[in-house]
Amino acid sequence: MLVMTTPVRWGILATGGIATEFVTDLRLVPDDASVVAVGSRSAEAAERFGATWDIPHRHGSWADLAADPDVEIVYVAGPHVAHHAAARMMLAAGKAVLCEKPITINTAQAEDLVATAKANNVFLAEAMWMWTNPAVRRCAELAASGVIGDVTGLAADFSFPADVGPEHRLANPDLGGGAVLDLGVYVLALAQLMFGTPDSVRATARLSDLGVDETTGILLGYPDGRHALLSTSWRNFGTISATLTGTTGHLVLPYRFFRARAVEIHTADGAVEVIDMPVEGSGLRFPAVEAGRCLREGLIESPLLPHADTLAVMRAMDEIRRQVGVVYPQQRVA
C-alpha cells in the first residue's frame, strides 16, 4: 500500500448536517487534511455543497466520487441505512473509508465492510469520534492507573427529548430509527472502551407506534463482575453524562460526555479535581487525523478505532434490538 502524503486528500459522501460539521472541523487542521471532492446522489446538492465549501470536485453520483483519482479517503455521512452500500462502493474502488457511526445497521453488514477492506488492502474505520476524544482517552488512562481504586462499574446516559416527526431518522424504521442505533451506540462504545466486550447483554425498551425504540435501558455484564448500566432515549431529558465507579472514588465525564471537554476525579475523602481539556470545534477532526496517520503508515486499521471493537458494539446493538423487538423493514422476511 502506498504511504499517503500531507495533507490527506478527502472526499465527502453526502451533504447533510454531519458532513457540514466534518468539513468545518477539518478546516482546523489544514496542514493535515484537504477536502478535494464531494459526492451526492444529487448533482445539485453536490454543486451547492461544493460551492459553499470551495471544494473543487463536485460529483453527482457515488460512483463518480469513487472513481476520482485525487481522492485518497472518503468520509461517509448520510443516513444509517446508506452506510453499507456507500462504504462498500468506496472500498471496492480502493478508497480508504472513515464511516460515520453507526457503521451499518447490523453486524452482517459491518462484517462485510471489514472483509471488503481486508480483501482490497484498504483502510476502514468507523468515525466513533468519542474513542479519539482527548478527555475520554484521559479518563480511560486514569481508570487504568488506579486513581479510583478497582473500577467496578459504569453508568452512562444519552437521552434528550426530540420533537421530531415520523419522517425523521430517529423515528423512521426505514432509516434505521430508534434510540439505540443513533444515540445508544455512544454509551455502548464507551463501555466497550472502558471494559471490553461483555459476556451478557440485557435490555428493556419502550417502542414507538412505528416500532422503533424511543427509550432503552441496558445492563452489560462482564466476566470479572464489573457492570455497565446504560440508558438512551429520544423522549426523555437525561444527563448525557458518564460515571466510572471504583473502590476509592469515581470519575465523571460531564454533560455531552461523547465530546467531553473535562474529566472529574472524585475521591473517597471528598476531594474533587477537574482536569480541563478544551477542544476547538466539534471534535470530528480527531478521528480524521487518526485516519490520516494510519494512511501515512500504510495501516488498514486504527488501533484507536479497531474493527473488533466496532463489531462488538454492533453485535450488542443487534442483541438489544432482538430482545426488545425492533426489526427494520430491510431485515424482515416475507
How buried is residue 77: exposed, middle or buried, by Cβ count under 10 Å (0-12/13-18/19+)? Answer: buried
Q: Is residue 197 pLDDT above 50, yes or no?
A: yes
Backbone angles phi, psi at 186, to 5 degrees: -70, -45
Would you say 48 and 74 are in contact if contact means Cβ atoms under 8 Å apart? no
Enter the pTM of the model.
Answer: 0.95
Residues 117 and 244 in one domain: no
Would you say 2 and 254 are in contact if contact means Cβ atoms under 8 Å apart? no
In a domain, 306, yes or no: no
Q: Which has more pLDDT, 146 or 2?
A: 146
What confidence category does residue 332 fall into, taking pLDDT thresholds of 50, 70 and 90?
low
Q: What is the mean pLDDT of the chain?
A: 95
Q: Is residue 59 pLDDT above 90, yes or no?
A: yes
In a domain, 2, yes or no: no
In a domain, 163, yes or no: yes
Pairing of strands 124-127, 242-246: unpaired
Residues 6+ apart with CB under 8 A from 301: 117, 123, 124, 125, 294, 307
Q: Is residue 314 pLDDT above 50, yes or no?
A: yes
Range of the domain at 57: 8-130+291-298
**CATH classification at residue 220:** 3.30.360.10
Q: Is residue 63 pLDDT above 50, yes or no?
A: yes
Residues 122 and 146 in one domain: no
Tell me what pLDDT residue 329 has: 86
Name the one residue in this structure whose C-alpha cell is 480508504.
96
Residues 157 and 256 in one domain: yes
Residues 150 and 271 in one domain: yes
Q: Domain total for the chain?
A: 2
Tell me what pLDDT residue 5 has: 54
Q: Is residue 333 pLDDT above 60, yes or no?
A: no
Tell me what pLDDT residue 3 has: 46
Residues 165 and 77 in one domain: no
